[in-house]
Every structure is written in C-alpha cells, then in structure tokens.
Amino acid sequence: MTVFSISRAACVLSLVAAGFGALAGRVAYLQTYGREQTVRQADRQQHRQQVLPSRRGSVCDRNGLLLAGTSQSKVLFADPKFMGEEFAGEAEKQLALREERADLIARRRKVNEISAEQVEKAKRVFPGRYAPADVGVDRAMDAALTEVAGILGREPSEIVRMVRVKPEGRFVRLVERVDDGAAEAIAALKIPGLGFTPMPVRSYPLVDLASHVLGGISADGVGIDGLESRYERVLRGRDGFLREQADSRGRPIAVTEQDYIAPVHGKHIVLTIDANIQMIAEQELRASIAQFGAKSGEVVVMDPWTGEVLALANWPTYEPGAYLASEKEARINRALVAPYEPGSTIKPFIVGPALEENVVRIGDVLNTNDGRFRTSYGRMIEDVHGYDHLTVWDILVKSSNIGMSHIGQKMGNTRLHDALTRFGFGKVTGIELPGENGGLLRGTAKWSKLSANSLVMGYELLVTPLQLAQATSAIANGGTIVRPTIVKGLVNERGDVASLRSAAAVGNRALGEETSAEVRRVLADVLVRGTGTRARSDTYNIFGKTGTAHLPERGRRGYSKDRYTSSFVGGAPVEHPRLVVTFVIHEAQKVGRQYFGGTTAATGAAMVLERSLKYLDTEASPRPNLPPASVVRKLHNYSEKAYTGWPENVRKVRAAADVVEKHEMMRPSTRPSDVEEGPDLDLWNQPEPDARPAADR
C-alpha cells in the first residue's frame, strides 16, 4: 500500500498551480498586450491590401492637341517563391507519372523479359515541358526564363539572376513597358509565378516640342521641372485603396464597402500654347542658331491683349521623355530664368515715357555730334553711324546711343527709373512656370554717375525675354501691362475648360493710348529705313526694335569685344497688333556684321511673325502710312519710295542687304562702341541694289 506523502502532494499541487498560473498569464497576455499583435497577424493572413494608382492628367495645347499624356503599359513580375514551389510540385507529378508508365510497360511486357536499361529508358519518356526529373527543378526554371528572355530580347542571364537573387521573394519586377504582343506570347507559355501588373507611362507625342514648358518627371513619376513640377498635385491626383479578404492561398474572396476607396485621377491642363506657332518659333530659332553659329537663343510669342503665351522656345533643347538622360545645360529655360543685358531693345521703353511726360516731343531735333560724344565726366559715347542731328523719331529708328543719352539726361534718374519699372522690369511677371527670375533694376540710390547713360543703352540692368515680351505688349495694346500666362485652365467634370486667371491678370497702364500708338508707328519705321530693314515683311507691317549688346568678360571686369547678345522685340500688324515677339540670339559668330541684332535676330523674328499670322489667317496689311508731315522734313535721308513701293521694294531691300552682308564678311568690323547696331541701309536713294551703305561710302 502506497503511503501518502505530504511533500509529494505539495509538489504535485505546486506544479498544477504553476501550470494554471502560466495559462492564466498567457490568457491575460493575449487579452491585453498580445491582443494587438495577434489581431495584426490574423489581419495580414486574412486580408490583402493594394494601392490603386491614380492616372496622371494630360497636358494639351489651346486647340486640344496632346502634348503630354499617360498610357497604360505592363510590367512583367515574378514571384520566385511561388515559382519554385510550382516547379518542384510539377517535378513530383512527373516523377509519379514516370513510375506509373514504367510499371505499366513492365506489366505488359512481363518485367522479367526486359532489361533494366529498357526500364530506365521508359522512365525518361513523359510529357512534361519544363521539369523532367533527370533535369532538375533549377534547370527547368532557367529553361523557362530563357524562353521569356528570348521573347523580350533580353539576356537570359539577366532575367535568371533577378529571380535567383531573391528565392524567397514574393514580387520581383523583371521588365517594364512590355508591349502587348510580347505580353501575349509570355502569357501563352503559362509559366507559374510570372504575371503582369499595369504601369502608367508618361509620353510626349510631339517629342521635344515645348519641352521647356512641359518639363519632365522622375523615375517615380513625380514632376521635376516645368509644368509637370508646378502642377504636380493637380496632375497627379490621389491614389485609391483596396483591402480584400483572402483565403489560405492568398486568393481574394470578398471586399467590403469600407475597404475600397476609388482613386481620384489627375486633372487635365489646357495651355495657351499653340503647337503650330510653337513649332514655327522652334524652327526659326533652330535655323538662326545654325546659320549664325550661335550658342543659344530664346523666342517668346504672346497675344498682347490677353497676355497668353502662344510659344516659348529655347535652344539648346531636350526631349521631356528622356529628361533624366538630357544635358543639364539643355534643360535651362532661359526665356525666364537667365536674364541678360538687353542693349538697344530697351530704348522704346524709355522714349515712350519721355514722350508721355512731355520731356521730349517726337519731332524734337537733338545734336548727335557726328557719332562721337564725350560726357561731362569724360565718358566717350559712340554711334556706329555718325549723324549730325537727329529727331527723336530717328533716334529710335537709327538706334542712336548719343541721342538716347541726351533723352536720359533730360529725364533725370528718378523718371528714368520710373519709366523702366512701369513696364515691369526688375520684378517677376508671375507666369505659371517655376524658377522665374525677375532680372535686375537697382534703385537710384545705388546708381553711379555712369548709370543713366548705361541704362538708356541697355546696360546696368538685366531682363528676360519674357519681360521684354510683356513690355512690348503694352506698346502693342494701347499702353496696358498684361500678366503673361501659359495655362488656359483645367478641364472640369463637364469637359469645359475652367480658367485659373483672376482679374489681377491686367495690370497698370504704362503709357497712354496715343503715346503707345505713336511709339508703335516709329518702331514700324525701324524696318523701313532703320536698323531692321532685313526683317521687313512683304505681307504685314511689322514694328520692332533691334539690339546688340556686348557680353561681360568671363572672370574679369569689362565687356568682350567679340561676344554679343543680338535681339529683336516687336509685333504685327502695326494697324492692330495680334502678336508680339522677343527673339534673342546669344554669341553669334562675329563674321563681318552678322552678329548685329538687325541681321541675326530680326530676320528670324520676322519669319516667326509672318508665318504665325498667316497660320492665324490674318488679313494682309495695307501700304504703310507715311510719317507725319511735321516730322518728314526733319528725318535723315527720308525717301517716300520706301513706303510707296511696298511690297515690291521689300525684295529689293533684301537683295541689296545680301550683297552688303557678303561685303561686310570680307572685312573686319569698324571701331567698337558701347552698343552696336546693324548697317543703316539707305537703299531708297541709290540707283542699284548692289550699292554699298551710305555710311561706308
């Protein structure tokens, strides 16, 4: 009989109590601290989550032509773990099938009558495609992936390595942007563990057209320049969310209403850009760069009444679709981020306010000292062509630096500074593009005694081509400053374009209507008998101003004698301007006088205006008006033939200018001056078109 032991009973009871205590502790843990972890683990096992990507919005020109869009492509992916398991399972099935077939053969032929070698041969005969038992699972997978690589035109080792490097992985991205034909061929192979997932692809159908307006996107689909960056939130939209209940093999079986949030796709943007005018601007800019061997250039075309930018071009350029592979220098939007000294193109914006405030009158005659004038503080100012006296009218037409110095002196520093600020220089225009530079216009307190004379010739201030286009618009539209805009609006749910502009798009008045019309009429004479005769059109009356400015020396003070910025600002038709243009060429090769604004930039600008106006079906201009009678008798070498013979004489001017240009290329240029202009072709009083310019006789 077993003797009851108190110590043994106590030990047993202690163990039982400890067991119950452990169970209670475990229950308490699972109900408190461990509950959250357990619920999360169960949720992961029972549910599958995925992001539903939004579709990036498109960008169109003003006529609905697609400039940037998003299409759906396919990404080939692999599930290495599932692939390995499926191939291993297939191998096991093939082994079983092999044994079954071998046994069947042995029974039919009486196994004792055939050799072991025949049995082994029979075992190798089976219908498996990728996993024969004597080949092995790994080699079978490699064979399958090699066939996939062949369809895609990739190296088999590359595809195999990507799968092998993560044997336990569940998602490996193999190839992006698989076309439909290749996807169908791969799907037909029915290789376990391979699949496709949709991938949005940003495309630019017109390749490099308006590249500096559009910008580009990163590898992650985020805008990193241009409108793609400025309107990233608008274009990107908002991703959706899907949470599915799954079975033990990960297959979806249910989705609740609370577990689905639809994606909000990005909005479509409509630009003010006209793709046809943009193409014209880029073609003419590219042609001018090539013709004159220049390093870079910019063109801006605007509607002077609304401020809508119809074209904005830069050279060099790039392809937005290959943004990350492009050169950094080519991606710079110089039209609004790289200000420069404008040279003589600044002169209309000083003469206009001087006329408005009665500092001078258009017929006033000023002494231009035969082309050389020394100021009271010893600075020598020169004109390329020497004139004894010129009217204010001809000071603009002939681009006289000495005449402008006299006007600037009459205005004084305060009014001169105010004249430039009222046209918007020294501050950003507010266009809807990132990185705009407001240029430089210092306050009068920082001016030296040289500043006024420098400013009237286009130095000591920095402007952008966009600012010049805005200022020229004020001369074209009757004197009102309009804010440049490049976004017409967003496409709403009804398919209408909802404008983003506010009433603040129209700014202050820079000039009165009469004064702006007077300045516009004078600028029309620049192309008839001034520095822009090469740019005269035989269809439209164009107004404008040429400019040629020395570039600063690199790494030291002073200005280069063989590096220039050549430019032209203007618009057409004079009677009722429909377009204004800024055309800038940087560092044209100095051959003869081909670097002058009247030769390099003016001709390209005129072609942009003429081709664009014809595209817009603009009616041809009438014969240009003669200057006022009160001014005619005071003008330098005035001839009525310049006006009455239009448009036939335009062809005569161009032919003669070609001869002059060839002559100039054979000899070095004359003495340098602060601002040089193109040859003053006085062809109307000369008997033959091959005559040399009056200044060189």
More confident residue, 594 or 272: 272
Mean pLDDT of the chain: 82
pLDDT at 78: 86
**253-267, 445-459, 545-559: range with lowest mean pLDDT:** 253-267
| Helix H or strand E encompassing 488 | strand 487-491
In total, the chain counts a number of residues equal to: 697
**Lowest-pLDDT range of 2-6, 244-248, 400-404, 649-653:** 649-653
246/78: higher pLDDT: 78
pLDDT reported for residue 585 = 96
The DSSP 8-state label assigned to residue 621 in this structure reads P
Distance in angstroms (rounded) separating the CA atoms of residues 208 and 223: 17
Residues facing residue 225 across a β-bridge: 216
- Kindly tell me if the per-residue pLDDT of 687 is higher than 90: no
pLDDT score recorded for residue 72 = 82
Residue 100 has a pLDDT of 61
DSSP strand pairing (269-271 vs 59-60) = parallel
* Higher local confidence (pLDDT), 101 or 378: 378
Helix (H, G, I), strand (E, B) or coil at 498: strand
What is the predicted pLDDT for the residue at 91? 61
What is the reported pLDDT for 681? Answer: 37
Is the pLDDT reported for residue 697 higher than 70?
no
Q: What is the 3-state secondary structure (H, E, C) of 276-299?
A: HHHHHHHHHHHHHHHHHCCCEEEE
- Of 26-30, 88-92, 314-318, 529-533, the poorest mean pLDDT is in 88-92
Say what the pLDDT of residue 84 is.
79
In the block, which residue shows the tokens 């020395």? Answer: 550
* Token pair in block for residue 693: 């310019």
Tokens encoding 456? 């009237």
Q: Note the pLDDT of residue 136.
A: 58
Please report which confidence band the pLDDT of residue 383 belongs to, taking 50, 70 and 90 as the band edges: confident
CA distance 251 to 689: 86
Give dist(CA 287, CA 275) in Å, integer. 18
Predicted confidence (pLDDT) per residue in 326-369, tens digit:
999 999 999 999 999 999 999 999 999 999 999 999 999 999 88
Euclidean distance between CA atoms 612 and 310, whole angstroms:
10
**3-state DSSP: the chain helix, strand, coil percent, rounded to 5?**
40, 20, 40
Looking up tokens 């991606």 gives: 331
Q: pLDDT value at position 652?
A: 54
pLDDT band of 625, cuts 50, 70, 90: confident
CA–CA dist 284, 278 (Å, integer):
10
User: Are 567 and 343 spatial neighbours (Cβ–Cβ below 8 Å)?
Assistant: yes
The pair of structure tokens assigned to 570 is 């203007």
Residue 664 pLDDT > 60, yes or no? Answer: no
Indicate if the pLDDT at residue 685 is higher than 70. Answer: no
Which pLDDT value is given to residue 45? 62
Q: Of the given ranges (8-12, 275-279, 588-592, 623-627), which has the lowest mean pLDDT?
A: 588-592
DSSP state letters, 523-556: HHHHHHHSTTGGG--SSS--EEEEEEEEEEPTTS
Average pLDDT over residues 313-323: 94
Instruction: Provide the pLDDT for residue 543.
Output: 96
C-alpha to C-alpha distances, 415 to 361, 395, 597, nearest whole angstrom? 16, 19, 28
Q: What is the pLDDT of residues 54-85, one digit of tens each?
A: 889 999 999 999 999 988 888 888 888 888 77
Q: Among residues 81, 614, 580, which one has the least CA distance to residue 303?
A: 580
- pLDDT tier, 106 (very low <50, low <70, confident <90, very high otherwise): low
Res 538 pLDDT > 60: yes
Report which listed range, 228-242, 406-420, 484-498, 646-660, is most confident: 406-420
Average pLDDT over residues 533-546: 92
Q: Give the residue from 239, 243, 238 showing the smallest Cα distance to 259.
A: 243
Query: Could you give the residue ranges of the DSSP H alpha helices within 132-274?
Result: 137-152, 156-164, 180-189, 211-214, 226-230, 232-236
Q: Is 144 left (phi over 0), alpha (psi -120 to 50) or beta?
A: alpha
Which two three-digit tokens encode residue 82? 């599932």
| Distance, CA of 445 to CA of 130 (rounded, Å) | 85
Mean pLDDT of 148-174: 85
Given a cut of 90, whether residue 444 has pLDDT beyond it is yes
pLDDT of residue 140: 78
Q: How far is CA 670 from CA 375, 383, 564, 667, in A?
A: 22, 11, 15, 9
Residue (of 446, 472, 474, 473) closest to 461 by Cα position: 446
How far, in Å, are 26, 29, 47, 250, 602 from residue 39 at the CA level? 16, 13, 12, 18, 75
Confidence of residue 675 (pLDDT cuts 50, 70, 90): very low
Q: What is the pTM of this model?
A: 0.79
Look-up of token digits 């377009």: 579
Q: What angle (nearest 5°) sits at the alpha carbon of residue 503, between those of residues 497 and 504?
A: 120
Set out the domains of the chain in order of their start, with CATH numbers.
80-192 (no CATH), 333-485+511-696 (3.40.710.10)
User: Cα dihedral sign for 195, 199, 203, 205?
Assistant: positive
Structure-block tokens of residue 242: 């899907």
Cα–Cα distance list, 646 to 532, 606, 629, 684, 690 (Å): 15, 16, 20, 12, 19
Whole-angstrom Cα distance, residue 492 to residue 10?
82
Out of 35-49, 109-123, 158-172, 449-463, the most confident range is 449-463
pLDDT tens digit sequence for 489-535: 999 878 888 887 764 456 789 999 999 999 999 999 999 999 998 88
pLDDT of the residue at 345: 96
pLDDT digits (tens, 9 = 90+) for 85-101: 777 766 666 656 565 66
